[in-house]
Structure 1
Amino acid sequence: MGTNAGTGTGAGPHGGGHAGAVPAEFLAGFREMLADVSRSCRTLTRAERESRRALGEQAADAGIGLRDLTAGHLAAARRAWPALPGVAGAHDTAELRKAGAAVLAALEAGIGALAEGHARAQRHAVRRAEAARRAFVDALLYGRSDPGRIAEEAEGFGLRLADRHTVAVGAPPPGAPYDEAHPLLRRVERELAGRFGDHDALIAPKDGRLVCVAPTGQRQVLDAFVKLTSAADGARVAVSRPHSGAVGVVRSYEEALSALDLAERLALEGRVLSASDLLVFPVLMRDRAAMSDLVQSVLGPLEAARGGPGPLLETISAYAAAGYVNAEAARRLDLSVRALSYRLERIAALTGFDPDDPLQRYTLETAAMGARLLGWPPSAQP
């Protein structure tokens, strides 16, 4: 059979033309196989099916779509049909039907094998693409490669690293890490593509989390990612400040991770965290020795309390989070207002700092935050 084996419909082998343009090499041996089947009324051998699978893989690697490949084989079978020995040489209707049934069965098996090979090649291509994507994401977020090479590779993933980018990192609900097969990844990609078409954001799983790197000019894409990723119960998303270049992406990613870590250690309630809102905490921790001294000096006396410092430390944090409103703080702690007042009196008596004095309660609140950041005392950690 040549390259003009039928007309068919659909796109050509590389996205244009018609099915008849399928190169002859992908129809090799097909007419001869059908001729022998029509003569002997046999089924396809294992070797014949495997050869079709191999041709299906080769066609996929050459950029020929399955629709075009199938149409080319059907067209070739249609053109070969009148001259097939079992058809042309049939003596009666029974022989013609027998030969026809064998040819149709062989055609079905052959095209099925082509489809298997084509799908196998596509799966391999997807795995190769995913491996390349993972390697690029690692290099981008960890900053371990030459910035020039990273910038060049980024173009293939739709990123122009000369721009300013913001990074959002979504942490999953406990026990449900994100990976390439997670349905949320497919949903996010599908919805962003449907709403914004071609966009320059990179969406990828990393270390069980979901990462979005988006140029600042496409804030709506980032906002949509944040909304979708934070919707699940127990999920949380942190958004960095914008930074420029490949180094800026690394910095933004680290900011978002730091925000997630701070939120966990401080038991913050929000599902969406902004790194810019949490800048005070790295400042507080910049002098770790001074913070440790503050915690020990201010909160150390709480260790003498009955039941340990944990309940009173929790009271300081809840009182601050409630805006120093007794009724709200009592509700958060599941206490009566009277019980809360007793705890506040004990804090003042033990530490010498009055939670109702504006300056002194700020010292208590700062020390309580430092205690959480330093893990003091271990039993008080959430």
Structure 2
Amino acid sequence: MADHALRALMLGGCPVHELLERQVVRLARELVAAFAEEIPLYRRLPREELDGDITRITVHNLRMICGMFRERRPPTRAELAPLRASAARRAQEGVPLDALLAAYHLGVTRVWEHLFARAGAGDLDDVLAANRLILSYTGTVTSAVCAAYLGEREAMLSQEQHAMHATVSALLAGDRAALAGVRLAPGYLVVATALGAHPDEAGDRAGGAIAGRRKLHRLRTAFQRHAAEQVLSVLDASGGLVLVPLAGEPAWCEIGEMVAGAGRAAGVPVWAAAEWAEPGRVPAAAKLAEEVLEVVRGSGRPPGAHRLADVLLEYQLTRPSAAVAGLAGLLDPLRAHPDLLRTLTAYLETGLDRRRTAELLHVHPNTVDYRLRRAVSLTGLDPMDPAQLQRIGAALTARRQLGPHT
């Protein structure tokens, strides 16, 4: 048995490895031609690369298979090293991994067919042994190539992300020195976002983290569809900033659709505030967008795209001022009567429609009338008076901004 294990594989009385060694160079050229013919990506590779690096690694593979057949053993780590280096180069060039694996699988299939197509009944034992070695080769090479390719891609992605974060940080800080030599877009749509939680994020810790990363990937991809250049972002599962490179300021309806599409892609509600700015104004635009978003969230606005014009009063009331507390204080007489305050709030939100107010509060319209009269008598503010109506609206907004205990 030991002698049999050490004996070279035979085919028709001739060692298989010798049959292969005699035609390594010619067969390598035929295989590379097959790659270019049957794998679309290889068809687009430069002739210099096909005749050079691709042919050399194909020759190496064929000689590695010769050694396997001669010594009846799987590939060694040293033999796999050139394959790993080649896979890393293909990753750097942007060759898709599926095309790379397709070339290996096509090559080994053609080698098998070339060597064993005329095998006879007396070759069965050695053909079966060769088949086991080929399966071992395929598994080992696939693992080595994938590991090297993905390792290189991960390193490249890490470098790209580091460069992207450095660019975002420099833009937000207005650091012109750090941006020297960086190619910037003519302008950026600066989008401050707040993201709802995806249902899958409520799973176990590892599963929830994966769901969060998938959510962010889908969100970035959705924004990228609107830009020809790389979208920049600083995001975590709860939201953050997205900088969409655009040549000019888009129409507001386009921004609304962009945010709505991002929400659909991510599968979560997305609140966003957006400002377009040239690179030098990105810091101010980001600050304003974040402030507007804070107002939007604090005032209970629905998901979607918002701008300063949508929350002018609420925004102004969030600025430091003694007037805010004074406005909120106009409704202090209602603090002991929460039903009156709820009625007054609903009455304004429904556009002074007493019937809709009654439906919202599940009371009779006459009850709405009674409560409104009581509110007027306690505060002296009558919503039927246009001037006082503005003061009531401002007072309600101020109360929301100051918090539930005002």
The counterpart of 1:171, out of the listed 194, 197, 214, is: 194
Deviations 1:27-83, CA, capped at 9 Å, x for gaps: 68544432221112223346655774455335434656543586379659968998x
- Would the aligned equivalents of 2:198 and 2:215 in 1 still touch at CA under 8 Å? no
- Would the aligned equivalents of 1:239 and 1:274 in 2 still touch at CA under 8 Å? yes
> Take 2:232 and 2:254, find their aligned partners in 1: how far apart are those partners?
11
In structure 2, relative to structure 1, the CA distance for the partners of 1:120 and 1:167 (3 Å cut) is: same
1:315 equivalenced with 2:343 (yes/no): yes
1:1-382 equivalence runs, <5 A = 5-6=28-29, 7=33, 8-9=35-36, 10=39, 11=41, 15-17=45-47, 19-22=50-53, 26=57, 30-45=61-76, 48=79, 52-53=83-84, 55-61=86-92, 66=97, 67=99, 71=103, 93-94=123-124, 96-98=126-128, 100-112=130-142, 113-140=144-171, 143-144=172-173, 146-147=175-176, 149-150=178-179, 152-153=181-182, 155=183, 159-161=184-186, 163=187, 165-174=188-197, 181-183=213-215, 185-186=217-218, 189=221, 193=225, 199-200=228-229, 202=231, 204=233, 206-207=235-236, 208-209=238-239, 211-215=242-246, 216-219=248-251, 222-231=255-264, 235-246=269-280, 248-269=281-302, 271-296=304-329, 298-303=330-335, 305-306=336-337, 310-375=338-403, 377=405
> Take 1:319 and 1:14, find their aligned partners in 2: how far apart are those partners?
68
- Would the aligned equivalents of 1:13 and 1:64 in 2 still touch at CA under 8 Å? no
In structure 2, relative to structure 1, the CA distance for the partners of 1:16 and 1:289 (3 Å cut) is: same
**Aligned with 1:22: secondary structure?**
helix
**Aligned with 1:160: secondary structure?**
coil
Identity of aligned residues (%): 22
Shift of 1:291: 1.6
**Aligned with 1:43: secondary structure?**
coil
In structure 2, relative to structure 1, the CA distance for the partners of 1:49 and 1:334 (3 Å cut) is: farther
Deviations 1:293-319, CA, capped at 9 Å, x for gaps: 2322x122223x24xxx4443333322
- Would the aligned equivalents of 2:263 and 2:270 in 1 still touch at CA under 8 Å? yes
- Return the letter of the residue paired with 1:301: P
- Return the letter of the residue paired with 2:231: L
- Would the aligned equivalents of 1:43 and 1:105 in 2 still touch at CA under 8 Å? no
In structure 2, relative to structure 1, the CA distance for the partners of 1:269 and 1:339 (3 Å cut) is: farther
> Take 1:150 and 1:52, find their aligned partners in 2: how far apart are those partners?
39
Shift of 1:187: 6.5
In structure 2, relative to structure 1, the CA distance for the partners of 1:299 and 1:116 (3 Å cut) is: same
> Take 1:333 and 1:233, find their aligned partners in 2: how far apart are those partners?
32
> Take 1:237 and 1:230, find their aligned partners in 2: how far apart are those partners?
9
In structure 2, relative to structure 1, the CA distance for the partners of 1:325 and 1:78 (3 Å cut) is: closer
- Would the aligned equivalents of 2:190 and 2:289 in 1 still touch at CA under 8 Å? yes
Shift of 1:369: 0.7
Question: Following superposition, which runs of at least 4 residues in structure 1 exceed 6 angstroms of deviation?
Answer: 1-4, 76-82, 175-180
Shift of 1:289: 1.3
- Would the aligned equivalents of 2:87 and 2:149 in 1 still touch at CA under 8 Å? yes
TM-score by length of 2: 0.70
In structure 2, relative to structure 1, the CA distance for the partners of 1:93 and 1:286 (3 Å cut) is: closer
**Aligned with 1:181: secondary structure?**
helix
Alpha-carbon RMSD across the aligned residues, in angstroms, is 4.2
Greater CA drift, 11-20 or 276-285: 11-20
Q: Which runs of 5+ in 1 are unaligned?
A: none
Number of residue equivalences: 357
- Return the letter of the residue paired with 1:44: P
- Return the letter of the residue paired with 1:186: R
> Take 1:128 and 1:114, find their aligned partners in 2: how far apart are those partners?
21
- Return the letter of the residue paired with 1:351: T
> Take 2:87 and 2:56, find their aligned partners in 1: how far apart are those partners?
11
- Return the letter of the residue paired with 1:278: V
In structure 2, relative to structure 1, the CA distance for the partners of 1:15 and 1:187 (3 Å cut) is: farther
- Return the letter of the residue paired with 1:144: A
Q: Which runs of 5+ in 2 are unaligned?
A: 1-23, 202-208
- Would the aligned equivalents of 2:334 and 2:379 in 1 still touch at CA under 8 Å? yes
Deviations 1:130-170, CA, capped at 9 Å, x for gaps: 34334433443xx22513533743x3xxx414x4x433334
